[in-house]
Structure 1
Amino acid sequence: MEWLSLAVLGLLIVISPGADFILVLKNSVNRGRKAGVWTALGVSLAICVHIAYSMLGISYLISQNEVLFNAVRYAGCGYLFYLGVKGIVTAGANPEVEVMSDSPKEVAVLQCLAQGFLCNLLNPKTMLFFLSIFSQVITPDASGNGSALLYGLYMMALHGLWFCMLAMLFTSSALQQHLLSMKKRLNQACGAGLLTFSALLAIKT
């Protein structure tokens, strides 16, 4: 597969709305810019794990083992279900949001980082995407390992830049007040979206 095609495919995968998008939106609107950025960084860091097991061939073994694959799939379903229920239940909460503040006590950095990391890591669709792509760039004599690593780093940077940009956009002065005015409905929609992704992931064979 040509590198330009791989680059475009990676871009389309990243920008297509999914659970990561919803989580970054929810954290940005509710907890401010810093929370959105750290959630985005968590999503990006999870790509390191996908790169590692794809290059080691573990993703192939998991995809061929129904028990292991289902364990990963249902773990992802459970986490998205938890985030969805939490988003709906706490939709009316009104935490302080200071978009431009740098106060370290304002955002639970590790919590946002972990949410983004787990949301992406526990998505078997991401695992299978990396498996299918890496099968195109890794050759039997391992000469393609360098190219595969570069592509993985490209995907990691792409995730980080895209979701950080979204966090900045969602907390911009032009959108912030409008989004905050509809925060409860937005939280409910985000929660419902996460529950939908959880259900689709659970029933997909």
Structure 2
Amino acid sequence: MIKIAATLFIVWTLLLLTPGPDFILVMKNTISGGYKNGFLTILGITTGIVIHTLTAVFGICLLSQNPTLFKIVKSAGSLYLIYIGISGFLQMRKRIDRFEIKSEKTLTSSRKNFREGFFCNILNPKLPLILLGIFTQLIPPQTPAPVKLLFGAEIVATSFIMWNLVSLFFGNKRVLDKLSKFEREILFTANLVLILLGGYELIS
């Protein structure tokens, strides 16, 4: 079991380090609003991973059995990435200083960051298929459900820790001060990448 756990950690970490929508979103929200915004985004992403992992553990993967449903979820996820990117561009036009955000907007911003992270993850149709592949190929089918849940907890914990490291890095005061000189350029690129990712997934 230790060998499987180690292999799972390596495989999942490599998957997390591959730049994707979750990574771009965590980086974007952290740079634009600091570690708190990044952390709330991570909570949303982690909640999505928990749901995907539980369905994979119990062998439920409707997307792999229903191509039409897969296309619907894929289209919804692609459109949501485009929506996040466009919303990011609209927010950039307001030119709001991230150090002078009014207190009455904090709750709305918190919900927004959590919501973006959750839907960005839960509407990714490839993730449940990847998890199902892990739980059918990497982990022996005869593995008891409680042990599979432990492996699922490892995936969730690894994701939460890795995303926090990313957010802590970009939210570090020294790093943030240096990046603030290029904040608009970075946010512009991040929003553009999200739109391009969504567009690519939509037409592919």
Tell me the TM-score range normalised by the shorter chain: 0.7 to 0.9
Decide whether aligned partners of structure 1 residues 149 and 104 sit closer, same or farther in structure 2, where only a CA change above 3 A counts: farther
C-alpha displacement at 1:165, in angstroms? 1.7
Among all aligned residue pairs of Structure 1 and Structure 2, give the percentage whose two residues are the same amino acid: 30
Name the counterpart of 1:96.
Answer: 97
The Cα offsets for residues 88-131 of structure 1, whole Å up to 9 and x where unpaired, read as 333343323249x9x78646222211111111111112111111
User: Are the aligned partners of 1:30 and 1:95 in contact in 2 as well (CA < 8 Å)?
Assistant: no
User: Are the aligned partners of 2:53 and 2:128 in contact in 1 as well (CA < 8 Å)?
Assistant: no
Tell whether 2:47 aligns with 1:45. yes
The correspondence of residues 44-193 of structure 1 with structure 2, limited to 5 A, is: 44-59=46-61, 61-98=62-99, 106=106, 108-136=109-137, 137=139, 139=141, 143-193=143-193
Name the counterpart of 1:15.
Answer: 17
The Cα offsets for residues 18-56 of structure 1, whole Å up to 9 and x where unpaired, read as 111111111111112211111112111111110122123
Aligned residues: 199
- Partner Cα separation in structure 1 for residue 93 and residue 177 of structure 2: 16
Runs of 4+ in 1 over 3 A off after TM superposition: 103-107
Task: Please list every run of 5 or more consecutive structure 2 residues that lacks an aligned counterpart in the other structure.
Answer: none
Quick one: which amino acid aligns to residue 112 of structure 1?
N
The Cα offsets for residues 39-97 of structure 1, whole Å up to 9 and x where unpaired, read as 112111111110122123331x3212111111111111111110111223333433232
C-alpha displacement at 1:13, in angstroms? 0.8
Give the alignment's TM-score, normalised by structure 2.
0.87
- Partner Cα separation in structure 2 for residue 63 and residue 202 of structure 1: 18
- Partner Cα separation in structure 2 for residue 45 and residue 98 of structure 1: 28
User: Are the aligned partners of 2:16 and 2:159 in contact in 1 as well (CA < 8 Å)?
Assistant: yes
Decide whether aligned partners of structure 1 residues 66 and 186 sit closer, same or farther in structure 2, where only a CA change above 3 A counts: same
**RMSD, aligned CA:** 2.3
User: Where is the helix percentage greater, Structure 1 or Structure 2?
Assistant: 2
- Partner Cα separation in structure 2 for residue 10 and residue 79 of structure 1: 24
Q: Helix, strand or coil: the match of 1:35?
A: helix
Q: Helix, strand or coil: the match of 2:198?
A: helix
Quick one: which amino acid aligns to residue 187 of structure 1?
L
